[in-house]
Chains A and B, each alone.
Chain A
Amino acid sequence: MTVATPGSFEGPGLQPQGWLRYFSFSLDHKVIGLQYLVTGFLFYFLGGALAGVIRTELASPISDFVSRNTYNEVLTLHGTVMIFLWIVPVVNGAFGNYLIPFYVGARDMAFPRLNAVAFWLIPPAGLLLISSYFLAGGAAQSGWTAYPPLSLTTPALGQVIWILSVLLLGGSSIFGAINFIATILKLRRPGLKLMQLPMYCWAMLGTSILAVLSTPVLAGTLVLLSFDIIAHTGFFNPALGGNVVVYQHLFWFYSHPAVYIMVLPAFGLVSEILPVHARKPLFGYTTMVYSIMGIVVLGLIVWAHHMFTSGTPPWMRLFFTIATSFIAVPTGIKFFNWLATLWGGKLALNSAMLFSCAFIVNFVFGGITGVALAQVPFDIHVHDTYFVVGHFHYIVYGGTVFVIFASVYHWYPKFTGRMLNESLGRLHFLLTFIGFNLCFAPQHWLGLNGMPRRVAEYDPSFTTLNQVSSVGALLMALSTLPFLINVIMSAFNGKIAGDNPWKALTPEWLTSSPPPVENWTGPAPLVQHPYGYGEAVAALDLRSASGEQIWSGNQR
């Protein structure tokens, strides 16, 4: 194990400098972070275009826009691209790589080469996945869940390429996770204690533990599935004595934690953004840390709630109902803590704050439908319907993607040294928020009333709401325009940001914007109070004041 020395970045080597380094095998964590971010956004636009195909098909109740096979390929690609090539790489890889070394006071990640390898697995895996669409037989058609026996009977080539691509992306995720764990635990600046780390470090530690524990299970499962396809083994093939429900257990053992791999980093990012723009310390740091770890533990033992209508015995349904419901407790703690962080602050109503608050609203809605879905009797009616589609998108889009946008508005000045345009940012927010709710809120009613998911045709009585949903999708597509214009134009003629435009206290702001290669020109700053905002009020002695006085900000 070697920790890269400063000399390995610069010097007269073959590493390109300037803008070319963003296309190179760079070892700089900031370059890798931005590589993840931009690549992720490219795949986001692709996945969004695929979603556009789905919503166009569903604008009418008959299958008339694309062929039925193509429709299933499109929905499979949409899910796979959005999860494995957009959300997971961006909330983990992009912001994790950019921010974690700053937060622990390091000059780079623990394993810079592994870091670069982890990123460079993603473009080929993505291209492989997309290329399968153009091959004979087309892309995989069995959904992102690839349940056998359907995945064994659809065209084999597309399915095998899908497996290969997901394996590569899973490998990238494992490499990244190992790197984050090592960096957070081992590269902390001397004097910096664990309980002084910014909350995003804890979120990434929890996420990385989940990724390391659960991703290998998915990899093993997919290898067995590929044996079933290529070598006609019988692991999951009932015709050869296999068991299809075992696949579902193995698949969801990864894929439920995957939801936390997608939302825990978002929780961490929000915990960084809110205190800065509310000018208040993060409320309840210690309980936040414990609730992250609680979510990690519970997240590993709830997978079978995706299988309440599969062949699962009654006791199993009961256990997973209770375990799943209890995730609401640590999650609830986090949300109440964020609300308390806002309370009594001086809230700057900028794009980063608006997206963060919309995240709270959307995620609470998705969380409430989530607790409902955890109840077996409720789930038995709405499982595999548009209710689940609506719930899931409130979690990953209304939750994580809103946070990604908030984070771009928050850290863009650090990435580029220039501010984003606020008016365009608020327009982007407004269009996204309205479009998102218009698109996904009606889907809950559709699911309750009989529309299953993953269909190209549906009961004509559902036409109007599906068209409303499609209009919402169109608004979401349009909402990316002001965003794109903003990030591209501002890179060249945005207002100069200065080192610390938000007057933030976390270490990434205590250096120039953009930061130098080694993060700080001098020694790394020791930040023991990353959330030390707030002006001491002389009139209020915190030790003798009652909790209610503090809570209400009422000084009397």
Chain B
Amino acid sequence: MAIPSSLVTLLLGMALVLVGFWVGQNVNLLPLDASSNAPVYDDLFRVLFVIGTILFIGIVGLVLFSLVRFRRRDGDESDGLPIEGNLPLEIVWTAIPAIVVLFVGIYSYDIYERMGGMAPLNDHSAHMAHQAQAMAVQQASAGGQGDGDQPRVWGGIGPVDPGEAVLPVEVTAMQFAFLFHYPGSNIISGELHVPSDRPVELRMEAKDVIHAFWVPQFRLKQDVIPGQTTVLTFTPTRPGSYPIVCAELCGPYHGGMRSTVVVHEPDEFEAWVQRNAPAPPPPATVASAPTAPVA
């Protein structure tokens, strides 16, 4: 007696799902994870990889099976079956991708929310706590803008928890370099130095053309745009040196527009600030102290 085809299909489907999960568990295609959202990203990648593997192997398997099993034998001039459609079947394979896509969409929304992607960028009350200090320093050093005409932030990833002690850094991108200015200690550096396990907020603006700030090990990227401030918040977790890559075509030396982000242990970072701050060094803890809750 032949095995019923529905049983064979079921077993094949189960095997396919198992293979998909096995591949997903063992896939290792991403660089080191060095920020708090990198492991979250890697989870999303794994889920997408499992779904993709199941779909891809399934469809390629069907194509290959059909090409072998249903190939036309020599001398066979007959036609296949006159099947023009099958509505229940078509409803099933409309519903399955719709559900999968909905699931992926909701899941990735959740991850995006956890990364801070949905944080309102221009909500003053959410930003004030650490903004006020950055602004105060700016005003003191440059006699710049008051609170009223704070530049509008156009895009990026905002802070997950605005109450935390955020390290603000102002990033200026130009052909073909990044400049990092620490408002707290007034350091200007060509490399980004940050302490581990403390949120960093980059406020970025370009001088000439569009650039993009990308650290593959942080799984984060944000365009740096002339005339419009963008913001990028992240929390480095793993001390080390990682490349900063410009990811938006910006001219002939675009490929050479790279820098380094150095993630220090917190005390090491304090030492770096002390070493590099222009005299007189303001207390480096000013920017980090979560004081001054405004309004």
Partner-B contacts on A (CB < 8 A): 63, 67-69, 71-72, 141-143, 147, 149-150, 153-154, 238-239, 242-245, 278-287, 309-314, 317-318, 321-322, 325-326, 328-329, 332-333, 335-337, 339-340, 342-349, 357, 360-361, 364-365, 368-369, 371-372, 375-378, 380-381, 383-385, 445, 448-450, 452-459, 531-537, 540, 542, 547-548, 550-554
The secondary structure that dominates the B interface is mixed
Residues in A with CB closer than 8 Å to B21 are: none
Question: Can you pick out 12 interface pairs between chain A and chain B where the beta carbons lie within 8 Å of each other?
Answer: A153-B209, A153-B251, A245-B225, A281-B84, A311-B230, A312-B155, A314-B117, A314-B118, A333-B93, A377-B108, A458-B255, A459-B243
CB distance from A428 to the nearest CB of B (A): 18
Partner-A contacts on B (CB < 8 A): 5-6, 29-31, 37, 40-41, 44-45, 48, 51-52, 55-56, 59-60, 62-63, 66-67, 70-72, 76, 78-86, 88-90, 93-94, 97-98, 101-102, 104-105, 108-109, 111-112, 115, 117-121, 154-157, 208-210, 212, 214, 216, 219-223, 225-228, 230, 243, 245-256
The 8 Å CB contact of A377, one of B31, B84, B112, B120, is: B112
Asked if A368 contacts B52 (CB within 8 A), the reply is yes
Asked if B119 contacts A314 (CB within 8 A), the reply is yes
Task: Report the bound CA distance from A456 to B176 in whole Å.
Answer: 14
Residues in A with CB closer than 8 Å to B81 are: 280, 344, 534-535, 537, 540, 550, 553
Task: Report the bound CA distance from A365 to B52 in whole Å.
Answer: 8
Asked if A454 contacts B154 (CB within 8 A), the reply is no
Task: Report the bound CA distance from A546 to B223 in whole Å.
Answer: 56
Asked if A381 contacts B84 (CB within 8 A), the reply is no
Central interface residue in B79, B102, B120, by most chain A CB within 10 Å: B79
Task: Report the bound CA distance from A401 to B248 in whole Å.
Answer: 27
The 8 Å CB contact of B222, one of A279, A309, A336, A445, is: A309
Residues in A with CB closer than 8 Å to B56 are: 364-365, 368
Contact A314 B120, CB 8 Å, known A343-B66, A357-B63, A368-B56: yes
Task: Report the bound CA distance from A72 to B212 in whole Å.
Answer: 18
Task: Report the bound CA distance from A377 to B216 in whole Å.
Answer: 13
Asked if B80 contacts A344 (CB within 8 A), the reply is yes
Query: Assuming A280-B82, A333-B94, A550-B83, what are 7 further A-B pairs, CB within 8 angstroms?
Result: A149-B226, A153-B251, A283-B86, A313-B155, A349-B71, A445-B29, A455-B254
Asked if A376 contacts B41 (CB within 8 A), the reply is no
Residues in A with CB closer than 8 Å to B31 are: 448-450
Asked if A328 contacts B97 (CB within 8 A), the reply is yes
Asked if A361 contacts B86 (CB within 8 A), the reply is no
Task: Report the bound CA distance from A527 to B119 in whole Å.
Answer: 58
In the complex, residue of chain B having the shortest beta-carbon distance to the beta carbon of A364 = B59
The 8 Å CB contact of B62, one of A322, A339, A531, is: A339
Task: Report the bound CA distance from A293 to B121 in whole Å.
Answer: 37
The 8 Å CB contact of A536, one of B70, B72, B82, is: B82
Contact A337 B118, CB 8 Å, known A311-B155, A381-B216, A383-B247: no
Asked if B250 contacts A150 (CB within 8 A), the reply is yes
Asked if A547 contacts B249 (CB within 8 A), the reply is no
Asked if B225 contacts A311 (CB within 8 A), the reply is yes
CB distance from B19 to the nearest CB of A (A): 15
The 8 Å CB contact of A375, one of B104, B155, B228, B250, is: B104
The 8 Å CB contact of B85, one of A287, A335, A452, is: A287
Residues in A with CB closer than 8 Å to B86 are: 283-284, 340, 547, 550-551
Task: Report the bound CA distance from A502 to B82 in whole Å.
Answer: 17
Contact A547 B89, CB 8 Å, known A384-B247, A533-B82: yes
Asked if A339 contacts B66 (CB within 8 A), the reply is yes
Residues in B with CB closer than 8 Å to A322 are: 105
Task: Report the bound CA distance from A245 to B157 in whole Å.
Answer: 17
Asked if A450 contacts B243 (CB within 8 A), the reply is yes
Task: Report the bound CA distance from A552 to B227 in whole Å.
Answer: 61
Residues in B with CB closer than 8 Å to A335 are: 59
Asked if A450 contacts B118 (CB within 8 A), the reply is no
Residues in B with CB closer than 8 Å to A336 are: 90, 93
Residues in A with CB closer than 8 Å to B78 are: 279, 346, 535
Residues in A with CB closer than 8 Å to B90 are: 284, 287, 333, 336-337
CB distance from B102 to the nearest CB of A (A): 8
CB distance from A377 to the nearest CB of B (A): 5
9 nearest CB pairs, A to B: A534-B82, A238-B227, A455-B255, A311-B154, A311-B155, A68-B252, A450-B216, A375-B108, A345-B80
Asked if A371 contacts B79 (CB within 8 A), the reply is no
Central interface residue in B83, B85, B157, B208, by most chain A CB within 10 Å: B83
Asked if B66 contacts A285 (CB within 8 A), the reply is no
CB distance from B247 to the nearest CB of A (A): 4
Residues in A with CB closer than 8 Å to B79 are: 279-280, 346, 533-535
Task: Report the bound CA distance from A279 to B86 in whole Å.
Answer: 18
Asked if B225 contacts A244 (CB within 8 A), the reply is yes
Asked if B48 contacts A346 (CB within 8 A), the reply is no
In the complex, residue of chain A having the shortest beta-carbon distance to the beta carbon of B115 = A377
Asked if A280 contacts B83 (CB within 8 A), the reply is yes
In the complex, residue of chain B having the shortest beta-carbon distance to the beta carbon of A284 = B85
Task: Report the bound CA distance from A454 to B112 in whole Å.
Answer: 27
Task: Report the bound CA distance from A479 to B222 in whole Å.
Answer: 40
Contact A381 B72, CB 8 Å, known A310-B225, A333-B90, A533-B82: no
CB distance from A308 to the nearest CB of B (A): 9
Contact A313 B121, CB 8 Å, known A280-B79, A375-B105, A534-B80: yes
Asked if A153 contacts B85 (CB within 8 A), the reply is no
Residues in B with CB closer than 8 Å to A375 are: 44, 48, 104-105, 108, 112
Residues in B with CB closer than 8 Å to A345 are: 66, 70, 80
Residues in B with CB closer than 8 Å to A281 are: 82-84
Contact A371 B104, CB 8 Å, known A149-B210, A309-B221, A328-B97: yes
Task: Report the bound CA distance from A347 to B80 in whole Å.
Answer: 9
Contact A328 B101, CB 8 Å, known A278-B80, A346-B79: yes
Task: Report the bound CA distance from A328 to B55 in whole Å.
Answer: 12
Asked if A343 contacts B101 (CB within 8 A), the reply is no
CB distance from A541 to the nearest CB of B (A): 12
CB distance from B222 to the nearest CB of A (A): 6
Asked if A244 contacts B227 (CB within 8 A), the reply is yes
The 8 Å CB contact of A349, one of B67, B117, B208, is: B67
CB distance from B289 to the nearest CB of A (A): 29
Residues in B with CB closer than 8 Å to A454 are: 249, 254-255
CB distance from B244 to the nearest CB of A (A): 10
Asked if A533 contacts B48 (CB within 8 A), the reply is no
Asked if A318 contacts B89 (CB within 8 A), the reply is no
In the complex, residue of chain B having the shortest beta-carbon distance to the beta carbon of A454 = B249
Contact A377 B111, CB 8 Å, known A329-B94, A329-B98, A457-B256: yes
CB distance from A250 to the nearest CB of B (A): 15
Task: Report the bound CA distance from A542 to B246 in whole Å.
Answer: 61
Task: Report the bound CA distance from A318 to B113 in whole Å.
Answer: 10
Contact A339 B225, CB 8 Å, known A281-B83, A345-B80, A450-B245: no
Residues in A with CB closer than 8 Å to B247 are: 309, 383-385, 452-453
Residues in A with CB closer than 8 Å to B245 are: 450, 452
Central interface residue in B6, B120, B221, by most chain A CB within 10 Å: B221
The 8 Å CB contact of A361, one of B59, B88, B93, is: B59
In the complex, residue of chain B having the shortest beta-carbon distance to the beta carbon of A331 = B97
In the complex, residue of chain B having the shortest beta-carbon distance to the beta carbon of A449 = B31
The 8 Å CB contact of A364, one of B60, B80, B154, B212, is: B60
Task: Report the bound CA distance from A242 to B37 in whole Å.
Answer: 34
Task: Report the bound CA distance from A445 to B49 in whole Å.
Answer: 13
Residues in B with CB closer than 8 Å to A540 are: 81
Residues in A with CB closer than 8 Å to B6 are: 548
